[in-house]
Amino acid sequence: MRQPGVFLFAVLATLVLTGCAPETEKTEKAGKAEKTEKAEKKAETAHFSGISTEYEAVRLVRLSGGLSHPWSVAFLPDGGYLITERPGRLRHFDGEDLVEVAGVPDVHVENQGGLLDVVLHPDYEDNGWLYLTWSKGDAEATTVALSRARLDLEERTLVDRELLFEQDRRSEPGRHYGSRLAWKADGTLLMSVGDRGAEPERAQDPGDHAGTLLRLTETGGVPDDNPFVDDDEVLDEIYTWGHRNIQGLVIDPDSGDIWATEHGPRGGDELNLIRAGENYGWPEVGKGRDYQTQEPFGETRSRDDVVDPVYEILPTHAPSGLALVTRDIFPGWEGDLLAGGLRSERIRRLVVEDQVVVHDEELFHGKVGRIRDVRQGPEGHIYVLTDNGDDDGLWRVEPEG
């Protein structure tokens, strides 16, 4: 069927050739045709209805576009959203207007570095603290940093900003920052730090924050019961080590289980169950292969002193963003993990029983592009951020009908 925009273009072309329309009229009509085509394109991509999955019929609704490489979304008590953009912007979205928030840290933006995760303090409604991870430094070297601040919504700015934590060793900028945050029920904060890319062996050095999952107090300090506080050879903040680049992190509110997805090299993307004080092997043990040689990185699993992944996500997924479905809005998914994928452009629904993945379903393949973040909202809907670099958006997964 001929599209309206195409038909209008053909009419205008005929008028130009016959000289029947004045120049101003032709320009005006061409402008209207362009606007019509853009409106139709926006309408076509504003939602996807009637998506059938194995257990749920759902739709994808685009809440906002106009984002550039968004990295994380947090949900404000009034129903608004805070969205970080890697190029160094924090946006407030109230459901209608998308406004930049001033007062963010002076991030160094390069490749994978920039403004990254954002989470609210568990007692946000009482204390107003929000937490940000970001790349701190310059073109020579950067660290992963953690700050907190309060949001002055009337002035659209951050106030009372504090630098709480900074990775112990500066690294060449641009790669493997980790930077996912998650609150444990005891009020401590987990924070991932990637291996920083250039020297993966750092992930096996417990005297280095690179390649670790950290556990911090709400002020960036060391909890007294961290697993290595009495070990002089291990940094006190370290909770686990031997990680390549954790970018999915979620905690089961009922069991306390900590789930993390992390990037492998070529292959070897992992779902891990986090256990305090353990080594997860990278780069000495793993399933991925070197980009250049195609040879395995180190040994293949298993090894007595290393925790095996619960699940290897194949083919290459490039995981980022991880949600646990705990509400009954999607009864067929309740208790499942939803792992976003950048390269794979899909979400993997992982069914876990007794800490074992027993089923894996692909969702939304290719519909919205690269998926950077997946979150369950306070009302139970699933929220997705895309990271395609061109008019990225915040999407909501809703039941169909």
Number of structural domains in the chain = 1
Please give the positions annotated as active site: 176
**How far is residue 396 from each of residues 176, 331, 369, measured CA to CA in Å?**
28, 17, 14
Question: CA 264 to CA 320: how far, in whole Å?
Answer: 12
Closest CA to 176 of 269, 247, 83: 247
Tell me if 241 is assigned to some domain.
Answer: yes
Q: Compute CA 220 distance to the chain's CA centroid, rounded to the nearest angstrom.
A: 22
Which residue carries 């050879």 as its tokens? 233
Give the distance, in angstroms, between the CA of residue 278 and the centroid of all CA atoms in the same chain.
24
Q: Is 4 contained in some domain? A: no
Tens of pLDDT along the chain (401 residues) come to 334 443 333 333 333 333 333 333 333 434 434 433 333 334 345 789 999 999 999 999 999 999 999 999 999 999 999 999 999 999 999 999 999 999 999 999 999 999 999 999 999 999 999 999 999 999 999 999 999 999 999 999 999 999 999 999 999 999 999 999 999 999 999 999 999 999 999 999 999 999 999 999 999 999 999 999 999 999 999 999 999 999 999 999 999 999 999 999 988 899 999 999 999 999 999 877 776 777 777 776 678 899 999 999 999 999 999 999 999 999 999 999 999 999 999 999 999 999 999 999 999 999 999 999 999 999 999 999 999 998 999 999 999 97
CA-based angle 177:178:180, to the nearest 5? 135
Q: What is the span of the domain harbouring residue 337?
A: 49-399
Give the model's pLDDT for residue 52.
93
Residue 9 lies in a domain: no
In a domain, 7, yes or no: no
Q: Is residue 128 included in any domain, yes or no?
A: yes
Rounded to an integer, what distance in angstroms lies between the CA atom of residue 268 and that of residue 343? 14
> Considering the entire predicted model, what is its pTM?
0.88
**The domain that contains 81 carries what CATH number?**
2.120.10.30
